[in-house]
Amino acid sequence: MSMAKARQPSPQPSRKQLLEFYESMALIRAFEERFVALVTQGKLVGTGHLCVGQEAVAAGVCGALEEDDYVTSTHRGHGHCLAKGVDPNEMMAELFGKTTGTSKGKGGSMHIADFRKGMLGANGIVGAGMPIACGAGLTAKLTKSGRVAVSFFGDGAANIGSFHEALNLASVWNLPVVFVCENNRYGEATPVEYALAADHVADRAVAYRMPGVIADGQDVVDVYAKAREAVDHARAGEGPVLLECETYRYYGHFLGDAAGYRTAEEVESFRSRDCLILLAERLRRDHEVGENQLDGIRAEMEARLDEAFAFAEASDDPALDELTTDVYVSYP
Amino acid sequence: MSMAKARQPSPQPSRKQLLEFYESMALIRAFEERFVALVTQGKLVGTGHLCVGQEAVAAGVCGALEEDDYVTSTHRGHGHCLAKGVDPNEMMAELFGKTTGTSKGKGGSMHIADFRKGMLGANGIVGAGMPIACGAGLTAKLTKSGRVAVSFFGDGAANIGSFHEALNLASVWNLPVVFVCENNRYGEATPVEYALAADHVADRAVAYRMPGVIADGQDVVDVYAKAREAVDHARAGEGPVLLECETYRYYGHFLGDAAGYRTAEEVESFRSRDCLILLAERLRRDHEVGENQLDGIRAEMEARLDEAFAFAEASDDPALDELTTDVYVSYP
Amino acid sequence: MTAEERVITTREAINEAIRDEMRRDSSVILLGEDVAGGAGREAEGLADAWGGAFAEYKGLQTEFGSERVLDTPISEIGYLGAAVGAAATGLRPVAELMFVDFIGVCLDPMMNQAAFLRFMSGGRAKVPLTLITHIGAGIGMAAQHSKMLYSFFTHIPGLKVVVPSSAYYAKGLLTAAIRDDDPVVFCIHKLLLGKQQHVPDEAYEFPIGQARIAREGNDLTLIGAALTTATCMEAAEVLVADGVDSEVIDLLSLSPLDEETVLASVRRTGRVVVVDEGFPRCGLATDVASLVADKAFDHLDGPVKKVTAPHAPVPFSRSLETAFMPSATDVREVALQLF
Amino acid sequence: MTAEERVITTREAINEAIRDEMRRDSSVILLGEDVAGGAGREAEGLADAWGGAFAEYKGLQTEFGSERVLDTPISEIGYLGAAVGAAATGLRPVAELMFVDFIGVCLDPMMNQAAFLRFMSGGRAKVPLTLITHIGAGIGMAAQHSKMLYSFFTHIPGLKVVVPSSAYYAKGLLTAAIRDDDPVVFCIHKLLLGKQQHVPDEAYEFPIGQARIAREGNDLTLIGAALTTATCMEAAEVLVADGVDSEVIDLLSLSPLDEETVLASVRRTGRVVVVDEGFPRCGLATDVASLVADKAFDHLDGPVKKVTAPHAPVPFSRSLETAFMPSATDVREVALQLF
Ligand SMILES: Cc1ncc(C[n+]2csc(CCOP(=O)(O)OP(=O)(O)O)c2C)c(N)n1
Ligand SMILES: Cc1ncc(C[n+]2csc(CCOP(=O)(O)OP(=O)(O)O)c2C)c(N)n1
Ligand SMILES: [Mg+2]
Ligand SMILES: [Mg+2]
């Protein structure tokens, strides 16, 4: 790791923590798969950008954060929200456009936010979250709150101007921000090898005088360890870090994308390193966790989603006058 | 030099070429100083961004270009225009807002352009020229014209999104574009050390998998040699290059800026390495050019400016109906 | 089915227009994010996987190759700036901005560069650039993917702006746009892409700057653009039962605007409702309404009415989104205030 | 000189408003390009060298330090996005965009983020952000540095937009903007910066959303904003000789718009000319004109008239630039068509 100063050795996650990661990843997986099922069954009309396959990044990075730390997310934000503690009931209700949703049904999948949880929002504009995270970091710095801001973004987003401006600004102002690239190898239908004129997104860190780190995004332990170091670095006032997590999305860009730009073999090769399977192996091997216990966790998460679905279904559509509320705090 | 493949050794400029550089730099200097004099004397109302001190960059880089190569410039564009062969009469007329100007008086200092000379325009928007140069490079590539596009930009512009997007794009598309950073140590009143989170702009080249080169911007021979190599590289189809020229502007950001953000000593130290003085020394030392001859060149350039001034002064203001012409090629 | 009867989708009409121009003129190129898809995978047989996020360009890279149909990184200011530079140096680029909402990251190349370059160079430059962009609500994509924003482009001198209302006009206007020597913004409503219409096989231009009378009538002029032309047509049918005979004008071009067609109609009917899915302030509806209020004032029998979206971001919830968009009921209600 | 008589420039009024709010509220910060100048040179005694490109902020960094008065790299989408993030997490940033023309590289943080965040979060977020930006022609900076563009901000739901016409209103509106919990765009015309006026010493708010009657009259309503308020006043004086008694309305806020003040005046005078330095299409003038044509129609004695800039980029040449901007002569000429 190329951090400027050596940090304390990153703590090995405890059994308890590992089980929490498993739970977090299983919740995200269950949420996404439930969403797919509901759409497929016609119970829910719409689409969304699923993060199935990438759960370890959300769980590992958010596992390294305090509750009041900030996160900015992307169009592919369900996992980040859940890992940051946003209520699945409210999230599901949001996807149903119900008034009990995180955004009263006015935001939808690409705009789920919960400021009470430090979740500053999914974002439909590629790259937009990175400067916003700088602002949250600036607040943290000026108010000496000790908080850190994490900005998730994709490999495709590494080619947009706001990436450049945000990373430079964070470095110039020495902000407590960790930029987490989820390199899932594609921006829509475009392979990262084509769009990114560099071998790794993390290679760009030197252009901003900040550490650039690569983690195995399928291994939540590696993600956690490197995120933890990066977060500690930022929290200690040593400036921003760029952390690239190598991962993969199993579904297409959005639900409905047939993903004809990649081979079945490629998908298979990544699925064989599924984050839940890898962690389950580790838990069995090093922590004597039995298959039963893991099945139990996954079943619990399914039950959690049953509840979320019931909650969402039972909730009301927003009243029509909600069309023009929340536009302003005050409009004289 | 970190070019991917070794190019032919860059040719040492001949005595004739050096004298051409001297002439080019002397013309730029004379143009800028004449502009200052005219404003000071109240013969011309307005302001502009002067490149006095930076002449070697324009002269050395454009000296490495063919007549039909493309150049995109910046707000500080007089030198680039002159070095690319734009007529000083038309340029001066433009500054006077006269109908004989490069842009019929409708563009002004920040928009001098002459497409017949491959000069695609000064630009009032920081960074805007870089993507435009990519487009010119794309035309060259697709039409196999063999042309190269050079994009001048400042150290301050290295922090704007279009820098990032243009360099990445040029690399992805393998375009014949040379990005020339005129690092004059300031973007307006902001020192480069503050705004740029890197030691050198050229350090950012690795983020785009292209060669990054630094030239002594006060030494036209060094600029020429490195520009020549970069241009050859691009023309040979080997892709874009980032060339940083270390230079300095003697005047403030614009004519009228008192430049209270820097010390007199700093200015003095750069003035002592003036590009005209350095080249004069070299000409005297290595090429037996006498002071007389150089005085003669400078006097010629002054005469050239007398002519330009007379031309501009004698020209007409645009007719009022020019207000709405040239908005469209055709407006049904 | 004879050639005359051929019915295709707006999506296909767009494809045809570009294809025909690319065949005709080797300087026409297409660039944008995933306009092909699977870039760099040609060897693996995976090229042209998307043909654009809305699949209008499917097959073009296969026919014209990756030199002329270029996928771009997610770098809107980069590739639109490049499109300007390419246009100014001899190519005739068709660039795509997937959603008009993304103009927030790349207005500059369209505004300060493409639109002004001719003027700023005193007529020495021209910028034959076509920008295709998707507008409008209706597919549940909420505030950041559903705006109209054509009023921004219309505000800017130097840009032409066209807004087809169906497949036929999409093909004709896009062909005209690509052949035009000025920068043209081609705004296509997402909900029109799948709609079908008879479209001639051969290439044709529909003139930029020309509106059309979609329905003739004597009592009232309804003015629409993009999707609201259909809304006006629907309202006109309903208004028959109210004893109102409506004329419907489909603007098609926003800049230049066909003032004469609008004014001639309103001068005859004396009543007007402008219907616009855009936001209400400083938008298209205010523009057309103020034109009428000035130049047809003496013929007006009542106030100049507008039906627009509310002054609010586009909501996600389906029920709210539906309410957000102008409906025939809204139009009828407002129209009846004039009688 | 007593306190009441104190006369200061608009530039100083802006400085005072920010200074007072920064003293009052430690969450107020100022950021932008060279808002101080000489960043990082404090040790060499070279700090605060510019105080902004137009010198409104001179002395603020000296008083409040470089933690609260932050120079930025040339990264508009970066620092405006950061301002949004800071505002949404508890600070109250005042950000500067040096020239409104640069919005082409940074509209997104204002439009898709700041303006919509409250709505998109179902009311959970607020964005108390003030954007100060310089508008207008008149200083020879041509097409890329002289536009108005306030109609863009006005178009966007979720943004408030204010446009002072003098030092007094600049101070009051800026104070109100900084204290407002919504994002506010404060557009200041460059030619106003050096103009002087009596301005009270103490802090005060001028309410956002309130226009003012700059001159009372009975025959005609002239409506202006920013510099065109003075143009209207001048025209009104000239029109006296024509026997026309003009009322002049200074809009001051464009969003929300004080519809009542506008409508009440026009209902009384029956005649209106809207004067706007912006481009003519989909702009401020069309907006106000269409309001009047709808809601004051029954009181109108003649067409709703507009005087705007031409549909052309702002030219460089001084003579053209002068002709570009609406003049009192233009206003008088159009006004007389109404009699
Ligand atoms: C500014 C902008 N440009 C384009 C898009 C359309 N778009 C949405 S997601 C996406 C791909 C993003 O790729 P990446 O950053 O790798 O994230 P991933 O989808 O892989 O998670 C694109 C191009 C957008 N939403 N915003
Ligand atoms: C997008 C944009 N932001 C800001 C400005 C204002 N501005 C004009 S020149 C300049 C400084 C540019 O610095 P640099 O790139 O180093 O060029 P130099 O002036 O030193 O030649 C700035 C901030 C602008 N014109 N465009
Ligand atoms: Mg990706
Ligand atoms: Mg500089």
Asked whether the predicted pLDDT for residue C3 surpasses 90, the reply is no
Q: Are residues D37 and D82 in the same domain?
A: yes
Q: Tell which C residues from 143 to 172 touch D, by Cβ distance under 8 Å.
A: 143-144, 149, 151-152, 154-158
Q: Are residues C166 and C98 in the same domain?
A: yes
Q: Tell me if B332 is assigned to some domain.
A: no
pTM (two decimals): 0.98
How far are the Cα atoms of A183, A286, B175, D72, D335 from residue A234, in angstroms, in the given order? 22, 31, 38, 20, 63
Residue D21 corresponds to which amino acid?
A: E
Asked whether the predicted pLDDT for residue B9 surpasses 70, the reply is no
pLDDT attached to residue D108: 98
Q: Are residues D241 and D266 in the same domain?
A: yes
Asked whether the predicted pLDDT for residue D46 surpasses 50, the reply is yes
Read off the pLDDT of each residue in D172-177 and give the average, rounded to a whole number.
Answer: 98
pLDDT attached to residue C4: 63
Read off the pLDDT of each residue in A37-47 and give the average, rounded to a whole number.
Answer: 95
Question: What string of DSSP letters covers A230-287?
Answer: HHHHHHTTS--EEEEEE---SS-SSTT---TTS-HHHHHHHHTT-HHHHHHHHHHHHH
pLDDT level of residue A9 (50, 70, 90 thresholds): low
Give the model confidence (pLDDT) of D47-68 as tens digits.
899 999 999 999 999 999 999 9
pLDDT attached to residue B10: 63
The rounded mean pLDDT for chain C is 97
Helices (H) and strands (E) in chain B, counts: 11, 7
Q: Are residues D164 and D304 in the same domain?
A: no
pLDDT level of residue D234 (50, 70, 90 thresholds): very high
Structural domain count, chain C: 2
Question: What string of DSSP letters covers B51-78?
Answer: -TT-HHHHHHHHHTS-TT-EEE--SS-H
Q: Tell me if A228 is assigned to some domain.
A: yes
pLDDT attached to residue A1: 39
Give the model confidence (pLDDT) of B22-32 as tens digits.
999 999 999 99
pLDDT attached to residue D313: 98
Q: Are residues D285 and D243 in the same domain?
A: yes
Pairwise CA distance, residues D155 & D288, whole Å: 13
Give the model confidence (pLDDT) of C31-74 as tens digits.
999 999 999 998 888 889 999 999 999 999 999 999 999 999 99
Which ipTM did the prediction report?
Answer: 0.98
For this structure, is D44 an active site residue? no
Token reading at A135: 């602002």
Asked whether the predicted pLDDT for residue A285 surpasses 50, the reply is yes
Q: Tell me which residue range forms the domain holding A69.
A: 15-310
Asked whether the predicted pLDDT for residue B269 surpasses 80, the reply is yes
pLDDT attached to residue B332: 58
pLDDT attached to residue D78: 98
pLDDT level of residue D3 (50, 70, 90 thresholds): low
Q: Tell me if D311 is assigned to some domain.
A: yes
Residues in chain C within 8 Å Cβ distance of B143:
90-91
Pair C300, C270: CB distance under 8 Å: yes
Q: Are residues C134 and C246 in the same domain?
A: no
Closest ligand to C-alpha of residue D141 is: 2
pLDDT attached to residue B302: 98
Residue B173, CB-side half-sphere exposure with 13 Å CA sphere: 33
Pairwise CA distance, residues B35 & B92, whole Å: 8
Burial of residue C30 (CB within 10 Å: 0-12, 13-18, 19+) is buried
What CATH number is given to the structural domain containing C257?
3.40.50.920
What CATH number is given to the structural domain containing B305?
3.40.50.970
Q: Are residues D194 and D218 in the same domain?
A: no
pLDDT level of residue A330 (50, 70, 90 thresholds): confident
Atom of ligand 2 at shortest distance to CA of B157? 15
| Cross-strand pairs, C323 | none
Token reading at B30: 């004379």
Q: Tell me if A322 is assigned to some domain.
A: no
Q: Are residues D61 and D179 in the same domain?
A: yes
Q: Which of D21, D33, D56, D76 is catalytic?
A: D76
Q: How far does the centroid of ligand 2 lie from the alpha carbon of residue D313, in Å?
A: 21
Least confident interval from C133-137, D2-6, D156-160 = D2-6
Residue C328 corresponds to which amino acid?
A: A
Across the interface, do C303 and D311 touch by the CB < 8 Å criterion? Answer: no
pLDDT attached to residue B322: 97
Q: Tell me if C262 is assigned to some domain.
A: yes
Pair A49, A75: CB distance under 8 Å: yes
Pairwise CA distance, residues D68 & D63, whole Å: 10
Give the model confidence (pLDDT) of C298-311 as tens digits.
999 999 999 999 99
Q: Are strands A177-183 and A241-246 parallel, antiparallel or unpaired?
A: parallel
Across the interface, do C143 and D155 touch by the CB < 8 Å criterion? Answer: no
Q: Return the closest-CA partner of residue A282 out of A203, A331, A219, A325.
A: A219
pLDDT level of residue D42 (50, 70, 90 thresholds): confident
How far are the Cα atoms of B85, B96, C61 from residue B88, in angstroms, in the given order? 9, 12, 46
Q: Are residues C191 and C216 in the same domain?
A: no
Asked whether the predicted pLDDT for residue D162 surpasses 50, the reply is yes
The rounded mean pLDDT for chain D is 97
Read off the pLDDT of each residue in B197-216 and give the average, rounded to a whole number.
Answer: 98
Q: Are residues C287 and C190 in the same domain?
A: no
Read off the pLDDT of each residue in C107-131 and give the average, rounded to a whole number.
Answer: 98
Token reading at B192: 């480069």
Asked whether the predicted pLDDT for residue B290 surpasses 50, the reply is yes
Q: Tell me if B7 is assigned to some domain.
A: no
Residue D257 corresponds to which amino acid?
A: L
Which residue is listed with tokens 């943290």?
A140
Read off the pLDDT of each residue in B209-213 and give the average, rounded to a whole number.
Answer: 98
For this structure, is D145 an active site residue? yes
- Count of A–D CB contacts within 8 Å? 167
Burial of residue C176 (CB within 10 Å: 0-12, 13-18, 19+) is buried
Decide whether any atom of ligand 1 lies within 6 Å of the C33 Cβ.
Answer: yes
Q: Are residues C286 and C138 in the same domain?
A: no
Q: Tell me which residue range forms the domain holding D181.
A: 3-198
Give the model confidence (pLDDT) of D187-197 as tens digits.
999 999 999 99
Looking at the complex, report in whole angstroms how far the Cα of residue D7 sits from the nearest Cα belonging to chain A: 30
pLDDT attached to residue B331: 74
Across the interface, do C104 and A125 touch by the CB < 8 Å criterion? Answer: yes
Structural domain count, chain A: 1
Asked whether the predicted pLDDT for residue D170 surpasses 80, the reply is yes
Q: Tell me if D54 is assigned to some domain.
A: yes
Across the interface, do A190 and C73 touch by the CB < 8 Å criterion? Answer: yes
Q: How far does the centroid of ligand 2 lie from the alpha carbon of residue B155, in Å?
A: 9
Read off the pLDDT of each residue in D27-33 and give the average, rounded to a whole number.
Answer: 98
Q: Tell me if A4 is assigned to some domain.
A: no
Three state DSSP letters for D17-35: HHHHHHHHCCCEEEEECCC
Pairwise CA distance, residues D169 & D56, whole Å: 15
Looking at the complex, report in whole angstroms how far the Cα of residue B200 sits from the nearest Cα belonging to chain D: 15
Q: Tell me if C240 is assigned to some domain.
A: yes
Read off the pLDDT of each residue in D122-143 and give the average, rounded to a whole number.
Answer: 98
Asked whether the predicted pLDDT for residue B1 surpasses 70, the reply is no
Give the model confidence (pLDDT) of C197-240 as tens digits.
999 999 999 999 999 999 999 999 999 999 999 999 999 999 99
Q: Are residues D152 and D234 in the same domain?
A: no
Pair D33, D71: CB distance under 8 Å: yes
Domain-ending residue, one of C168, C198, C228: C198
Pairwise CA distance, residues C61 & C68, whole Å: 7
Q: Tell me if A248 is assigned to some domain.
A: yes
pLDDT attached to residue B3: 53
Q: Tell me if B106 is assigned to some domain.
A: yes
Asked whether the predicted pLDDT for residue B92 surpasses 60, the reply is yes
pLDDT attached to residue B5: 45
What residues line ligand 2, using a CB cutoff of 6 Å?
A: B 49, 74-76, 124-126, 154-157, 182, 184, 186-188, 253; D 33, 74, 76, 98, 102, 105
Token reading at A81: 């929200």
Read off the pLDDT of each residue in B310-325 and give the average, rounded to a whole number.
Answer: 97
pLDDT attached to residue A5: 45
Atom of ligand 2 at shortest distance to CA of D105? 1
